Amino acid sequence: MTGLPQGKKRAMKVTFDIDCTPEEARAFIGLPNIAPMQERLMKAMEGKLHDNLNSLDPESLMKTWLPMSFQGWNDMQKSFWDQMTKAGGMAAPGFTNPAANAEAGEKESQSKK
């Protein structure tokens, strides 16, 4: 071998171009044909998705998205403000929780009746 330093070997690159479909390639390698099973699975999934979409209305969506502890938007807003004031420490001077204020106002109006 002339022209190459000692210990170096020549590398050879070989490329094969195979023109076949994915089904033919799977059969050649020996993989099983799962197309019928995949079709049945997709039909079942489509049926379940269709049934679920038909059963969803805005009220049931809100029940699934919000925890059971929230009875209404006021509870959710109060919880949000409580968490924010806990995370930030003490509230800024003059800052009041709008949800707590609304709740206090409702209790006062009910007690006056």
pLDDT in tens, 6-29: 777 778 899 999 999 988 999 999
pLDDT at 37 over 90: yes
Amino acid letter, 107: K
In the chain, where the domains are located:
22-55, 68-107
For 28, the 3-state DSSP assignment is helix
- pLDDT given at position 17: 93
pLDDT at 107 over 80: no
Task: Please report how many Cα atoms fall inside a 13 Å half-sphere around the Cα of residue 75, on the Cβ side.
Answer: 7
